[in-house]
């Protein structure tokens, strides 16, 4: 067991003890009881309407050309590299606040209720085949700063809820700048070669887990790393997509 794995395990145990002794408070409204209360969870609207077959983003009316067009403009421009992806919601309101708490306010306990929102998108891309759940890992330096890897926590809770296996099979080998504010080409360049497969995935169906999807450039690179170590198929489920990454024409 690596030191990092030990620390994650310690955190999980410590937070379980804390949960048992101290009631959590909702990361959004502050109500005592759950890390995110049911009332706040219910305010997360699912992505509705016609969606892209590849990225799951909503279509604009303008992209619904007559005929058999099933992909949004964004995916048609991106080619075939993006794994089939579904997200629970767009990055706004409750889910935006909850993800912010998970990533920047030292609230790893929020991962469990947030992971429940990943079940529907995960089932939508796995087609009844049990996947191995692989988190899109943080770079070790960012992990050190945060103390836990939010994608690994989400992957663990999702895998437990669904009875699936999980594996740390992808490592981020290059620290990347924040994707915020970068255009599509700059995002791809920023994450190119950022991941390496660290465990054999021969013949396995991989389900990548990440918190936020922007243009999908990170998922493209993580999927490439999985295929390089033998993954049979790669799909992805994320909590939220940036509003700008909805597949709509810019
Ligand atoms: Zn609440
Ligand atoms: Zn799309």
Contact 62, 246 (CB under 8 A): no
Nearest ligand to the CA of 245 is 2
Residue 93 C-alpha to ligand 1 middle, in angstroms? 12
Domains of the chain: 42-245 (3.40.50)
Q: What is the number of the ligand closest to the CA of 75?
A: 2
Q: 33 C-alpha vs ligand 1 centroid, how far in Å?
A: 9
160: CA distance to ligand 1 center in Å?
Answer: 24
Listing DSSP states for 181-232 in one string gives T--HHHHHHHHTT-EEE-S--TT-EEEEEEEEESSSHHHHHHHHHHHHTT-S
What separation in Å is there between the alpha carbon of 42 and the centre of ligand 1? 9
The reported pLDDT for the residue numbered 16 is 65
Q: Which whole-number Å values give the CA distances from 91 to 45, 88, 113, 130, in the listed order? A: 10, 9, 16, 27
Give me the tens of pLDDT residue by residue for the chain, a chain 250 residues long: 556 667 767 776 766 666 566 778 999 999 999 999 999 999 998 887 788 888 888 776 455 555 557 788 778 777 678 899 999 999 999 999 999 999 999 999 999 999 999 999 999 999 899 999 999 999 999 999 999 999 999 999 999 999 999 999 999 998 877 776 777 778 778 888 899 999 999 999 999 999 999 888 899 999 999 999 999 999 999 999 987 654 443 3
Gap from CA of 244 to ligand 2 centroid (Å): 12
pLDDT of residue 3: 66
Beta strands 32-33 and 24-25, pairing class: antiparallel
As a whole number of angstroms, the distance between CA 135 and CA 68 comes to 33
CA 166–ligand 2 middle distance (angstroms):
26
Three-class SS state of 128: coil
How many whole angstroms separate alpha carbon 33 and alpha carbon 78? 44
Q: Which ligand is nearest to the CA of 34?
A: 1
The pTM is what? 0.86
Quote the ligand 1 centre to 63 CA distance (angstroms).
Answer: 36
Per-residue model confidence (pLDDT) at position 248: 47
Residue 215 C-alpha to ligand 2 middle, in angstroms? 9
> What is the pLDDT at residue 246?
47
Q: Could you list the beta-strand ranges (E) of 66-220.
A: 84-90, 132-135, 165-166, 170-172, 195-197, 205-213
Ligand nearest to the CA of 85: 2
Ligand lying nearest the CA atom of residue 41: 1
Question: Which ligand ends up closest to the CA of 60?
Answer: 2
Residue 67: its pLDDT value, please? 59
């Amino acid at each position: 067991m690596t030191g990092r794995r030990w620390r994650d395990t310690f955190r999980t145990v410590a937070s379980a003890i804390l949960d048992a002794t101290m009631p959590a408070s909702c990361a959004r409204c502050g109500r005592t009881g759950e890390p995110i209360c049911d009332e706040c969870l219910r305010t997360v609207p699912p992505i509705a309407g016609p969606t892209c077959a590849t990225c799951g983003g909503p279509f604009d009316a303008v992209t619904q050309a007559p005929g058999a067009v099933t992909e949004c403009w964004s995916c048609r421009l991106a080619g075939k590299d993006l794994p089939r992806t579904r997200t629970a919601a767009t990055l706004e309101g409750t889910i935006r606040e909850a993800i912010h708490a998970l990533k920047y306010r030292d609230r790893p306990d929020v991962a469990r209720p947030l992971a429940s929102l990943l079940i529907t998108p995960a089932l939508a891309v796995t087609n009844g085949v049990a996947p191995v759940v692989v988190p899109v890992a943080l770079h070790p330096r960012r992990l050190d700063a945060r103390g836990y890897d939010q994608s690994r926590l989400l992957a663990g809770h999702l895998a437990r809820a669904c009875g699936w296996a999980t594996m740390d099979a992808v490592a981020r080998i290059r620290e990347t700048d924040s994707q915020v504010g970068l255009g599509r080409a700059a995002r791809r360049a920023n994450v190119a070669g950022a991941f390496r497969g660290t465990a054999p995935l021969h013949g396995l169906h991989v389900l990548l887990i990440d918190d936020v999807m922007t243009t999908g450039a990170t998922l493209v690179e993580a999927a490439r790393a999985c295929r390089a170590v033998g993954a049979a198929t790669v799909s992805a489920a994320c909590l939220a997509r940036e509003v700008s990454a909805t597949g709509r024409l810019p």
